Amino acid sequence: MSPVVEMKNVQKNFGALQVLKGIDLTVDAGEVVAIIGQSGSGKSTALRCLDRLETIEGGELRVCGHALHDRKVDLARLRQDVGIVFQSYNLFPHMTAAENVMLALRLVKKKPFAEARTVAEAVLTRVGLADRMDMYPEQLSGGQQQRVAIARGLALAPKLMLFDEVTSALDPQLTTEVLKVIEQVARDGMTMVLVTHEMDFARKVANRVVYMHKGRVNVDGPASVLDAPPTAELADFLKSA
């Protein structure tokens, strides 16, 4: 069975700055991989490459069977297979929670209204928002809005979910409620790659931890590496995390 994610010597530049300096990473179906590292280490850039939000300059990158290093890759099909949630919720303020979730179902999968509404009800219930379906974003807390964003990602039944620092804009109480939802999605068997600064969460949920340092993978191992760091760079990072 092919890996869900396969990165081989992936390189990414922003102008003269090389941000990814030859990344090798494989993620198998059902794995939860947490990417950690200091600001500027390339972790969010690496994640964004997995949904082709960033193009790469070199190497090979395959996600859910799509060759992302090929400029002719079908982005519409890719984004049916890959869901992504950012730290900013990116909800449409003039749409209810259900309408935000239904939008991609209606536009991308061409589902009729009643079927899209049924799916929206199911995924919003899954993230604990069955009683908030018809509320607008301004009527929801930050944690609830982030859970709507997660539900929107789940609605297309993706093969891979990406999470980019989804709790960094939330206070501790809201962070806890969002992490509980992600933890449940992981238990349900979803393949995930998460960029996170929550070390306790990474210990609890991730099968593997990838520590990035200066645009390279410095450590790739089980979550136990957080308790016994194999490199000086990771040890120094954990002291300040």
What's the mean pLDDT when you consider all of the chain? 93
Judged against a pLDDT cut of 80, whether residue 1 lies above it is answered with no
What pLDDT, in 10s, does the model give residues 76-117? Answer: 899 899 999 988 888 999 999 999 999 989 988 889 999 999
In whole angstroms, give the CA distance from residue 105 to residue 117: 9
- Domain assignment of residue 95, given as a range: 5-240
By C-alpha distance, which of 27, 3, 21, 5 is closest to 59? 21
Confidence at residue 241, expressed as pLDDT on a 0 to 100 scale: 76
**pLDDT(235) > 80:** yes
How many domains does the chain divide into? 1
Q: How is residue 83 annotated by DSSP?
A: E
CA distances 64 to 16, 83, 161, 181, 191, Å, are 30, 12, 11, 24, 11
Which CATH number fits the domain that encloses residue 169? 3.40.50.300
Which pLDDT belongs to residue 153?
A: 92
